[in-house]
Amino acid sequence: MATEVKVPVLGESVTEATVGEWLKQVGDAVAADEPIASLETDKVAVEVPSPVAGIISGFSVELGETVEVGAVIATVEEGAAPAAKPKADAPAETTKVAPAPAEDAPTIEDAPTMSPAVRRAVLEHGVDPTTIKGTGKDGRLTKEDVLAAAKAKDAAPAAAPAATPAPTAPAAAKGERREERVKMTRMRQTIAKRLKGAQEEAALLTTFNDCDMTAVIEAREAYKDMFAKKHGIKLGFMSFFAKAAALALKDVPAVNAQIDGDEIVYHDYVDLSVAVSAPNGLVVPVVRSIDQMSFAEIELAIADFGKRAKEGSLTMEDMTGGTFTISNGGVFGSLMSTPIINPPQSAVLGLHRIEDRPVALNGEVVIRPMMYLALSYDHRIIDGREAVTALKIMKEAIEDPMRMLIDL
């Protein structure tokens, strides 16, 4: 009996998505609740599970097609026995026209299910997907896994003469210039629209300060081992800045507020959006009531979001809300930036790299680990005095962490 696979409810006010990846192919066996497709919404990727165990008998839509909630995207023949997998030495029947692998080498079909982008990368770089450990959800290969394997392969010393490598796409001739057009993902289109909308609607302004990281670095060094042993997580910088931000937002509530029509909505809580990198772009999951959390709870929550962002398993609920954002460009080496607010929020704190710089201290020039801080804010709701005051409170809390313990 054929069972229809339909687009599930995607989240509040989300009515459609784009088919971003088939995790299974026609003829593949699938277990009940096993994901068979990944849908891209405006914020996150949502996996669609099979409602029954059986064999995928067909797809009703094409890759990249926009589908609405409740639409049928595939059918599963319930209870059908999986087709026997051909032996390694038997010729596999396939219509694939990609470059053939070397004789007796594992074929791309022997590898776990791969997305089109990953499959293309495997073929382009001539790596064996069966020898690569996947870091994606359920151990699936990601494009980054393939690129890392290709880089390691190129860096490895030459071994004994091997079989003639499989033919690959011809390399570009010297002086030849190429272009590639890749359709923007739904998430990337949404990011572009939201950020441009923020520039056009909000009265954006950025105030800067620098902060001496000595005290935080010394605190981490002194307690990192005990902290990790007790809580099972490393003590990072983000929890210090999250607590410092919560302290400042309580004292300057306008920085934690937002405009709704002709009203200003103030919050007596801090739901912190933490910008993290995901395969399809920057995402901002929300750590709720961070002002009520301990350092360990903050570190654990942020680490979990980072892991799930890499796996593509964040949910719509994870991304909803948020009253203030912290974006850490320092992990990529940024010295200074002017971050853009995440609407409808009214402010965002930008962190940057730590570097030793000469500073004047008690009449002497000393070398200190310094970081530039940037607070971008909507001048329609936040005055310059309030923005500067909030950033100064954050700076002082980082330079003297005891302030965060005694609520100063």
The amino acid at residue 259 is I
Spatial distance between the Cα atoms of 368 and 44, rounded to a whole number of angstroms: 40
Residue among 236, 252, 244 at smallest CA distance from 300: 236
Spatial distance between the Cα atoms of 294 and 315, rounded to a whole number of angstroms: 24
Residue among 114, 98, 123, 111 at smallest CA distance from 38: 114
Spatial distance between the Cα atoms of 144 and 130, rounded to a whole number of angstroms: 15
Residue among 38, 404, 123, 94 at smallest CA distance from 250: 404
Which two three-digit tokens encode residue 78?
């319930």
Residue among 271, 264, 244 at smallest CA distance from 325: 271
Catalytic one among 271, 383, 400, 407? 383
Is the preceding omega at residue 86 within 30 degrees of 0, hence cis? Answer: no
Instruction: Identify whether 251 is a catalytic site residue.
Output: no
DSSP structural state of residue 172: P
Catalytic one among 260, 379, 400, 407? 379
Strands (DSSP E) along 155-301, which ranges?
204-212, 258-260, 263-265, 272-274, 276-278, 281-283, 286-287
3-state secondary structure of 317: helix
Instruction: Identify whether 267 is a catalytic site residue.
Output: no
Active site residues per annotation: 379, 383
